[in-house]
Amino acid sequence: MAICLVDNYLDLTIIYLVIMKKERETTLVDYLKVIFKWRRFIVRNVVIVTIAAVIISLILPLKFTATATILPPNPEQEMMFGFIPGFAPGGISSGFSSMLGGMVPGVSTPSDLYATIMKSSRIKRAIIDKYNLKEEFKAKTMHDAFASLDEITNIGISPEGIISVGITYKNKHLATDIANSYVEELDKFIFDGIRKVLGIKETMTLVVPK
């Protein structure tokens, strides 16, 4: 009786292995048959997805990216700032960090400092007022205008310390102007800081013709 059970078990095992082997022997022809069977479904979905992609690309407005780059100060420039009273010999990074009185924690290089300054509300407010971006963005408050400007602005620092200001917007001319204005407003901020450190007040010079 036990021998019969063993024989039956072996027969069933062999049959099972033969079936599994046949199921695994799927050829390229079998795949082609499946594709041919579902050809209408596949073609229909490809056409629908393609048409949808074309419609979306036509509906969505084109956006342009304008990029302005700022090189970090070289050693000669840092030495020049080091001679200015109030600026530490370490150069711009230490000088401005002390000037700002710890308002920009985490600043360790001039590039970090520049990027932090450009992200400040002072710089953003000046740019928004200059190009009337509150109306352009249809923002109800200045806070909303700040948020809209942040959405289109990307300020990054490369491993070499080069700062890039990228503006992505539907109006390429306005994007270019905003990117350049970040650099201009940074220059104004730096030289305003130098004037304050040196105690220089803005004066008007009247040139009288001889």
**What does the alpha-carbon distance between residue 161 and residue 108 come to, in Å, rounded to a whole number?**
11
Nearest to 182 by CA among 110, 131, 109: 131
- Going along the chain from its start, the domains and CATH numbers come out as 2-59 (no CATH), 64-198 (3.30.1890)
Distances (CA, A) of 174 to 107, 130, 163, 187: 30, 11, 20, 20
Please name the residue that has the structure tokens 């953003």: 124
Q: What is the pLDDT along the chain (210 residues), one digit of tens a residue?
A: 444 444 444 455 555 555 555 555 566 776 777 777 888 888 888 889 888 888 877 777 788 999 999 987 665 555 544 444 444 434 444 454 454 445 555 667 788 888 988 999 999 999 999 999 999 999 999 999 999 999 999 999 998 889 999 999 999 999 999 999 999 999 898 888 766 666 655 544 434 444
**What does the alpha-carbon distance between residue 113 and residue 9 come to, in Å, rounded to a whole number?**
79
Q: Model-level pTM?
A: 0.61
- Interhelix angle 172-198/142-152, rounded to 10 degrees, is 110
Phi, psi of 138 (to 5 degrees): 55, 45
